[in-house]
Amino acid sequence: MTWNNKFSADAGSIDASEIRELLKILADPEILSFAGGIPDPELFPMDQVRAFRERMAQHPEQDRQLMQYSQTEGYEPLRSWVARTTSSEHISVLKENVLITNGAQQSLTLLAAALIDAGTPIGVANPTYLGALQVFGARRPVFHTIETDLDGLTIEGVEKAFKAGVKFLYTVPDFQNPGGMTIPEDRREKIIELAHKYDVVILEDTAYRALYYDCPPPPSLLELEGKFLGKDNWNDKGLVVQLGTASKTLMPALRVGWSVAPTAMLEKLILLKQANDLHTSTVNQTLAYELANNILDSHLETLRTVYGERCKAMIEALRQYLPNSVTFTPVKGGMFVWLKLPEGMNARKLLEKALAEEKIAFVPGAAFHANGGGDNTLRLSFSTCSPHIIHDGMKRLADLIRREL
DSSP structure string for 240-300 = EEEEEESTTTT-GGG--EEEE--HHHHHHHHHHHHHHHSS--HHHHHHHHHHHHHTHHHHH
**Where are any strands of DSSP class E within 1-97?**
32-33
Distance CA 280, CA 254 (A): 10
Condensed to tens digits (0 to 9), the pLDDT of residues 114-168 reads 999 999 999 999 999 999 999 999 999 999 999 999 999 999 999 999 999 999 9
Amino acid at 20: R
Q: Which residues contact 263 (CB under 8 A, 6 or more apart)?
A: 96, 97, 235
The C-alpha atoms of residue 87 and residue 81 are separated, in whole angstroms, by: 10
Q: Is the pLDDT of residue 60 over 70?
A: yes
Query: For residues 153 and 40, is the Cβ–Cβ distance under 8 A?
Result: no
Residue type, 390: I
| Residue 96 DSSP label | G
Residues 6+ apart with CB under 8 A from 356: none
Residue 94: which of 107, 81, 105 has the closest Cα? 81
Structure pTM?
0.94
Rounded mean pLDDT of 48-73? 91
Least confident window among 12-21, 256-265, 382-391: 12-21
Q: What single DSSP character describes residue 357? A: I
Domains and CATH numbers, the chain: 9-45+298-404 (3.90.1150.10), 70-295 (3.40.640.10)
| pLDDT per position as a tens digit, 253-299 | 999 999 999 999 999 999 999 999 999 999 999 999 999 999 999 99
Which residues touch 374 (CB under 8 Å, ≥6 apart)? Answer: 126, 127, 365, 366, 368
Contact by Cβ (8 Å): 338, 40? no
Q: Are 255 and 281 in contact (CB under 8 A)?
A: yes
Mean predicted lDDT score pLDDT of the chain? 94
Q: Residue 82: helix, strand or coil by DSSP?
A: helix
Instruction: Tell me which range, 17-26, 53-62, 257-266, is most confidently predicted by mean pLDDT.
Output: 257-266
pLDDT of 241 > 80? The answer is: yes
